[in-house]
């Protein structure tokens, strides 16, 4: 990657830091952002700075083992890479397609994770297309190696992950692209929170989800976990071209699932 591209990425990371901070997706010195450079080194935010008030030359270049590389800049000589470096590097190692990683502390998403309300539901069309189904990883200590282990499996199949009691991890093909996923994740959490105040809402019926999944595929946004996620959670199963839950899934499901499944089939019939 040319210096020009590195300079552009530095500017974009600074812009994302400001967006995260201004929208209260991080506070104080929270959060971290990184981007992969062409030589497979990583441009990453430093530890201990407010990400809403950074300058481009404060960003640090590290290798995939987390060591500071390159000559650095005068402004970052004394700075260390973020304490969440291991989690960022894990995402790059597991996903060669990932060019940027954003970690934030979105308040609605954290709140829901603490009371056991999942974001992995087929509720909002934009979220289904852009995020897929967001899993919640078990709690692990922030800024520790535990976090890298906590996301190891989930990141393979997902672009957005909720870290229980802690925050979000989103990835993308640019810092802004990964940032937009953080914003969408928090929007889903906010709406889910409001829906819970009103007693909840029905999920989208499988045939509607399937249409959204088709768009997701066409936009090249499909991910490894989609088939299992959308089959198990939303009832979209690709068996002989029929998109309904299998009998065994229905038998294993709770009564609520059964009622939901029947309701969805009735709606589906009525809309034919």
Q: Which residues bind Zn ion (CB under 5 A)?
A: 142, 167
Alpha-carbon torsion angle 120, 124, 127, 130, nearest 10: 130
Choose among 209, 162, 165: nearest CA to 189. 162
CB of 103 to Zn ion, least distance (A): 6
d(CA 233, CA 136) in angstroms, rounded, equals 14
Whose Cβ is closer to Zn ion: residue 135's or residue 167's? 167
Whose Cβ is closer to Zn ion: residue 81's or residue 206's? 81
- Would you state the structure tokens that stand for residue 154, as one six-digit string? 């989930």
- Would you state the structure tokens that stand for residue 49, as one six-digit string? 């700075």
H-state helical runs in the chain = 3-22, 85-94, 107-114, 125-130, 145-157, 175-197, 206-218, 226-234, 247-252, 255-270
Whose Cβ is closer to Zn ion: residue 66's or residue 142's? 142
Whose Cβ is closer to Zn ion: residue 68's or residue 165's? 165
**Hey, which residues does 168 pair with through a beta bridge?**
104, 162
CB of 202 to Zn ion, least distance (A): 34
CB of 104 to Zn ion, least distance (A): 8
CB of 11 to Zn ion, least distance (A): 24
Whose Cβ is closer to Zn ion: residue 140's or residue 244's? 140
CB of 177 to Zn ion, least distance (A): 20
């Amino acid at each position: 990657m040319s210096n020009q591209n590195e300079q552009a990425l530095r500017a974009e990371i600074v812009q994302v830091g400001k967006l995260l901070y201004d929208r209260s997706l991080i506070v104080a010195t929270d959060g971290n952002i990184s981007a992969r450079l062409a030589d497979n080194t990583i441009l990453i935010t430093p530890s201990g700075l407010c990400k809403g008030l950074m300058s481009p030359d404060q960003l640090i270049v590290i290798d995939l083992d987390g060591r500071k590389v390159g000559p650095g800049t005068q402004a970052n000589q004394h700075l260390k890479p973020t304490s969440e470096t291991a989690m960022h590097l894990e995402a790059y190692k597991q996903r060669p397609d990932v060019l940027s990683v954003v970690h934030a502390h979105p308040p609605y998403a954290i709140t829901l994770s603490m009371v056991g309300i999942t974001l992995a539901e087929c509720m909002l069309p934009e979220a289904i297309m852009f995020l897929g189904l967001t899993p919640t990883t078990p709690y692990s200590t922030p800024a520790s190696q535990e976090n890298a282990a906590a996301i190891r499996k989930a990141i393979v199949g997902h672009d957005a992950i909720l870290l229980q009691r802690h925050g979000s991890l989103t990835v993308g093909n640019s810092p802004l692209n990964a940032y937009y996923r953080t914003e969408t994740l928090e929007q889903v959490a906010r709406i889910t929170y409001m829906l819970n105040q009103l007693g909840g809402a029905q999920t989208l019926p499988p045939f509607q989800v399937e249409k959204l999944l088709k768009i997701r595929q066409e936009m090249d946004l499909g991910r490894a976990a989609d088939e299992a996620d959308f089959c198990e959670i939303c009832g979209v199963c690709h068996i002989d071209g029929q998109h309904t839950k299998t009998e065994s899934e229905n038998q294993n499901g709770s009564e609520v699932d059964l009622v939901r499944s029947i309701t969805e089939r009735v709606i589906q019939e009525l809309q034919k």
